[in-house]
Structure 1
Amino acid sequence: MRAGLAVVASRGAFATAAVSSFRWLKPIVRCSSSSPSTAVSTTIPTSTSFDHISFIKDIAATRPPEHLNYLLNMLQSRGEAVISPAAKEGLVPLVIPLSESSAGTLTCLLRWPTSPPGMEMPVVEVHKHGVWLLAKSVDLYIHRILVEEDAKAQDDNKLWNASSEAGEKLYKRGDFLESQVTDLDVYLLKKVGLFPDVIERKVSCHLERGDLVSAMITGEFYTKNHFPGFGRPFAFNAQLLLKVGRKLEAKDAARGSLKSPWWTLGFKYQEVAEIAEWEDEQIEFIKEKVTEEGRQEDLKKGKAPEQVALDEAAFLLDLASIDGNWDEVGVKLDFSIWVHHGQLILLGTQ
């Protein structure tokens, strides 16, 4: 059984609820104007914040982040195009698109299939093989954007106007300069929250100074359940340990990261599997599990049909992440494990 947050309700720290109480997403209509790639084409029609809020309520079947409309305004004010939440072709099936940068980078929300009560949807950046965590919540991301803007000490008010009431609630303009903290990353970690890229930069700084002990301590801190469900901290720590000559520990760390959904590694699967010294047997095992024979075998072992379907969905996502072929898995899942009159249905696999 895999640890870490994933489509499978029993696969990790977020598997706190029984399968019978599992809530999931309803099927969506795909946007035909998008094109399969690591990012959505700029030809995708724009969308208002109301479209996103309705989509999250009605399709994703969850509570929209309180300040989502302000984040959308902020993203637009810094030159990004707000895009349709249904523009999912070529993307991980679990993301809800928000905006696209001029470079084609997508900012999205991630709708975990199951999570602890009250947990916010994280903000992620989409890549070919999965997602990269930007912030654990919309509010945290807004706070960070405002601090970074404040650190520039510019007179441009566009971003501040876009943040409006949310900005005033989350951050007081000028606090960064008044703090007399000269290192922006230090301020972010102490005053705002934890962010994967900031922690990784701290590790890199320690390495550049030749301080291997501090680098390893920071790398170990990174893995302490600050980012539940994401395999990236463990995969990054594995690469760090390998870099400093701790090959055996690196192998263990890499194998630990592969217990998380592979689309959360932040690396190509093959890069992490090489450190873990995994051959193709694990991939072949998963491929067998998503066959009819594999399903029947699990059912014979007494596993609930709902859990078998959930496991299959998780395996399909893992397999798709290897090559980044999300459209193929999207056909099989179609955003798509959902509960109807108590029956969990996996669409498109018949």
Structure 2
Amino acid sequence: MDLPVVEVHKHGVWLLAKNVDQYIHRILVEEDAKSPDDTDKVLYGASSEAGKKLYRKGDFAESQIANLDSYLLKKVGLFPDVLERKVMRHFDDGDPVSALVTGEFYTKKGLFPGFGRPYVFNAKILLRVGRISEAKDAARVALKSPWWTLGCAYQEVADIAQWEDEQIEYIREKVTEEGRQEDLKKGKEPVQVALDEAAFLLDLASIEGSWDECLERVAECYKEAGLLEIAKFILYGD
């Protein structure tokens, strides 16, 4: 299974690429576009044979594609930041219909599974054009994803969704010992209870960016679920 490449921010992670090859391909294209001649090709040289399999130097210039973002979308893959820039360019060009169509495409099922960011961005552009009810619905869909995948502070999305603090309080109750025991009494498997607690703790940490405070307990939850390598990775330090 391909592992996504992400960048860590205060309130969670930002998806850089769906997999490592796609990320390397992108940065090689960006380097080539920035320096069309053979100077400053540090990344291309470092990537060795692996890089040559992904990208041939000079292909961006030879393609005659209008701009770098268009090349990336056509030749490399779909990237959240590139799609978001495409939407904003449509707005800048006075074409809100194309902006909305692209925003809707961004949320297409299967493009970025598990990430709430596409729905957050779509909610914001719907709000921009005055479609408040649809923006609220999109924000609520986003909040069904892990909150650390929203690409922004939780409260920004909660405000669009018109959510109060009930959901936060519900999750806080779930991570208490009483909440765990209640789930077990209802017949939920101990492994699932542990995994749910880890997910809830990460959601809560994303609100304030308080990741360090929950690391040990999250790792313990994964140990309880039998995922020892993940627990070890979480606690790994430089």
Q: Distance in 1 between matches of 2:208 and 2:3?
A: 26
Q: Is 1:233 aligned with 2:115?
A: no
Q: Is 1:180 aligned with 2:64?
A: yes
Name 2:203's counterpart in structure 1: 318
Matched position secondary structure for 2:216: helix
1:250-281 deviations in whole A, cap 9, x for unaligned?
Answer: 00000000000000000100000000000001
Q: Is 1:134 aligned with 2:19?
A: no
1 or 2, which has the higher helix percentage?
Answer: 2
| One-letter code aligned to 2:105 | F
Matched position secondary structure for 2:214: helix
Name 2:2's counterpart in structure 1: 120
2:48 alignment partner, one of 164, 185, 192? 164
Q: Distance in 1 between matches of 2:21 and 2:149?
A: 21
Matched position secondary structure for 2:7: strand
Output the TM-score relative to the length of structure 2.
0.91
- Segments of 5+ residues of structure 2 without an aligned counterpart are 233-238
Q: Distance in 1 between matches of 2:47 and 2:227?
A: 41
1:148 alignment partner, one of 30, 37, 43? 30
Matched position secondary structure for 2:57: coil
1 or 2, which has the higher strand percentage?
Answer: 1
Matched position secondary structure for 1:132: strand
2:87 alignment partner, one of 203, 224, 237? 203
Name 2:178's counterpart in structure 1: 293
Q: Distance in 2 between matches of 1:232 and 1:278?
A: 17
Alignment check: 8 A CA contact 2:194 2:224 kept:
no
- Segments of 5+ residues of structure 1 without an aligned counterpart are 1-118
Q: Distance in 1 between matches of 2:227 and 2:154?
A: 35
1:8-23 alignment runs, 5 A limit: none
Q: Is 1:270 aligned with 2:155?
A: yes
1:228-265 deviations in whole A, cap 9, x for unaligned?
Answer: 11110011111111111010000000000000000000
Distance 1:263 1:274, change over 3 A: same
Q: Is 1:212 aligned with 2:91?
A: no
CA displacement at 1:299 relative to structure 2? 1.2
How large is the Cα RMSD of the aligned pairs?
A: 1.9
Q: Distance in 1 between matches of 2:226 and 2:154?
A: 37
Matched position secondary structure for 2:66: coil
Name 1:35's counterpart in structure 2: none
Alignment check: 8 A CA contact 2:116 2:142 kept:
yes
Structure 1 stretch displaced more, 294-303 or 328-337:
328-337
Matched position secondary structure for 2:194: helix
Q: Distance in 2 between matches of 1:257 and 1:137?
A: 22
Q: Is 1:246 aligned with 2:142?
A: no
Once the two structures are aligned, what percentage of the paired residues are identical?
Answer: 71
Q: Distance in 2 between matches of 1:303 and 1:227?
A: 29
Distance 1:133 1:202, change over 3 A: same
CA displacement at 1:123 relative to structure 2? 1.0
Distance 1:275 1:340, change over 3 A: closer
Q: Distance in 2 between matches of 1:159 and 1:312?
A: 41
Q: Distance in 1 between matches of 2:86 and 2:225?
A: 47
Name 1:328's counterpart in structure 2: 213
Q: Distance in 2 between matches of 1:187 and 1:265?
A: 26
Alignment check: 8 A CA contact 2:116 2:145 kept:
yes
Q: Distance in 1 between matches of 2:164 and 2:66?
A: 47
Q: Distance in 1 between matches of 2:220 and 2:25?
A: 30
Matched position secondary structure for 1:303: coil
Aligned length: 227
1:84-117 deviations in whole A, cap 9, x for unaligned?
Answer: xxxxxxxxxxxxxxxxxxxxxxxxxxxxxxxxxx
2:192 alignment partner, one of 289, 299, 307? 307
Q: Distance in 1 between matches of 2:66 and 2:122?
A: 27
Matched position secondary structure for 2:102: helix
CA displacement at 1:150 relative to structure 2? 1.2
